[in-house]
Chains A and B, each alone.
Chain A
Amino acid sequence: MDSGIYKEELMDVYKNPQNRGKLDDPSVAVLERNPMCGDEINLQLSIKDGIIEDARFDGSACAVSIISSALVTDEIKGKTLDELKTYDRRKVLDLVGLNLSTSRVKCATLILSAVQSAIKKYESTNK
């Protein structure tokens, strides 16, 4: 049931999401959109020796998308790019730990698309 996403502990994340903001000197930055609902997430990554050193996100999005972005940006810090390439929807949904209706799954996975585009962009410009 959708209302489950509005649990208090998650609402704390929604109201004060970790990693929201911008990096001073990101290695890569992407803007990911979900045109169906108008959500936009800016993701910035700082990458050194193939490892995510830091991650920040910003943008206008719904609670599910913000909560998922906050949790995922925490999760990916310290991971290698190769490790991140194995991340899929299942992994992100497990991480967010929400029982989402089909129509809200894409809100939660917008940040995953952002991470994937960022890695692709980073690798194509740092060959």
Chain B
Amino acid sequence: MEVNKIREDFPILRKKVNNHDLVYLDNAATSQKPARVVKAIEDFYFNYNANVHRGLHTLSEEASEMYENARKRVATFINAGHESEIIFTSGTTDSLNFVAQTWARKNLKKGDVILMTEAEHHSNLVPWQIVAEETGAEIEYVELGKDGDITLEDFKSKITPKVKLAAFFHCSNVLGITLPVKEISKLVKQNGGIVVVDGAQAVPHMSLNVQNLGCDFYAFSGHKMLGPMGIGVLWVSREILESLDPYKYGGGMIDLVEMKSSTWAISPEKFEAGTPNVAGAVGLAAAIDYLSEIGMDNVSSHEKELLTYAVQKLKEIDRVKFVGPADVSSRHGLISFYLDGIHAHDVASVLNSIGVAVRSGHHCAMPLHKKLDIPASVRASFYVYNTKVEVDKLIEGIRKSIEILG
């Protein structure tokens, strides 16, 4: 994998921040975009823009074809059984709310349990709180095990026939761990529950076979995988797809509309009321092509190499405490940490002063930070264009913040 060549594809990496080269290590929040993705969006608007599935004219047919091709590319990328299982949404949050407001709201009742982990992103936590409130279902959490890890064992005691819905991350945006989705799904399904997976931090970084995971719903965003903001995906298994009610109602999702009632189109149109984000889907398809050319296994191993290097360097600084397991074997390409006695915001500000962009705060995981009893943490997350030289800059900034703030 030629990182220097890849870097040339990302115009933003030439930017200076505070007179320093930008070192972008906030990829778990959103990734940067290669010129090709932006060009694909421009090309759509300049040459093909029309509403989809409506007009008989050439432009509309071309736009429709581009939109449906994007769906096929997504289906192939995650190894879905069929493209009709791919529903375009505005992002992971929208995808998870989709499941909460359709399947969960209709099927959950008093006495049922919704199972999550303590480390969920707010987007995979708050929608279930609302559903629980509405349906009378109860929420239970798989607790953080020792070493800041969550394993299959931690799930086992929590999975009972009462668990009707389990919603958990594939890769954690704070702990940096990857859950054994396949094994957990199997247990939940054996007990009669359905499984919803938040794949926002997984799809950008690893090759995926969604059918193999055994889950029912899988959600992810385009903008974290080199694609544009405002486009995301909800993958739904065949078995569930047929019985699922629409999420939104309006144009584009109907079969027949009469004065008093209507019937629905089939999937995926049934679930995509209103004018869809066609340019976003086209941009996402371009991002998928770009990632596929690099090869997802190469993406994973590059990130792992950077992570291993970063962890080794961070361990040399006594004040650094890791959030999640310090063992890199169970981790993907992000690391959260804090410095004893220095607030994460101050570390991030000093890092910013030398051009290094990291996330500081609770990373949309307040309950987790409360459990760990830290107000905030710093998170460095890597992607295809990051280098070891940039990790060195991160370390330099951390040492500088200790020097300044004591």
Residues of A within 8 A of B (CB): 1-3, 5-6, 11, 14-15, 35-40, 60-64, 104, 107
Q: Which residues of chain A are near B136, meaning CB under 8 Å?
A: none
Could you write out 6 A-B pairs with CB less than 8 Å apart? A1-B353, A37-B343, A60-B343, A62-B343, A62-B345, A62-B346
- Whether B223 is near chain A, meaning CB under 8 Å from some CB there, is no
Cβ of B361 and Cβ of A3 under 8 Å apart?
A: no
Q: Which residues of chain B are near A37, meaning CB under 8 Å?
A: 343-345, 360-362, 375-376
With a 10 A CB-CB cut-off, give which of A2, A14, A35 has the most chain B CB atoms.
Answer: A2
Cβ of B375 and Cβ of A104 under 8 Å apart?
A: no
- Whether B250 is near chain A, meaning CB under 8 Å from some CB there, is no
Cβ of B345 and Cβ of A35 under 8 Å apart?
A: no
A13 CB to closest chain B CB (Å) equals 12
Q: Which residues of chain A are near B345, meaning CB under 8 Å?
A: 37, 62, 64, 104, 107
Cβ of B405 and Cβ of A63 under 8 Å apart?
A: yes
- Whether B332 is near chain A, meaning CB under 8 Å from some CB there, is no
- Whether B350 is near chain A, meaning CB under 8 Å from some CB there, is yes
Task: Give a binary string over B8-21; 1 marks a CB under 8 Å from any A CB, 0 the rest.
Answer: 00000000001000
Q: Which residues of chain B are near A15, meaning CB under 8 Å?
A: 406
When A and B form their complex, which 6 residue pairs have the shortest distance between CB atoms, in order from nearest? A38-B375, A3-B353, A62-B343, A62-B345, A2-B349, A38-B376
Q: Which residues of chain A are near B361, meaning CB under 8 Å?
A: 36-38
Cβ of B349 and Cβ of A40 under 8 Å apart?
A: no
Closest-by-CB residue of B relative to A61 is B343
A60 to B349, CA, bound (A): 17
Q: Which residues of chain A are near B353, meaning CB under 8 Å?
A: 1-3, 6
B208 CB to closest chain A CB (Å) equals 32
The answer, among B350, B362, B375, for a CB contact under 8 Å with A6, is B350
Q: Which residues of chain A are near B352, meaning CB under 8 Å?
A: 2-3
Q: A6-B353, A36-B361 are in contact. List 6 more A-B contacts (CB 8 A).
A: A3-B350, A37-B343, A37-B375, A38-B369, A63-B346, A64-B345
Closest-by-CB residue of B relative to A4 is B353
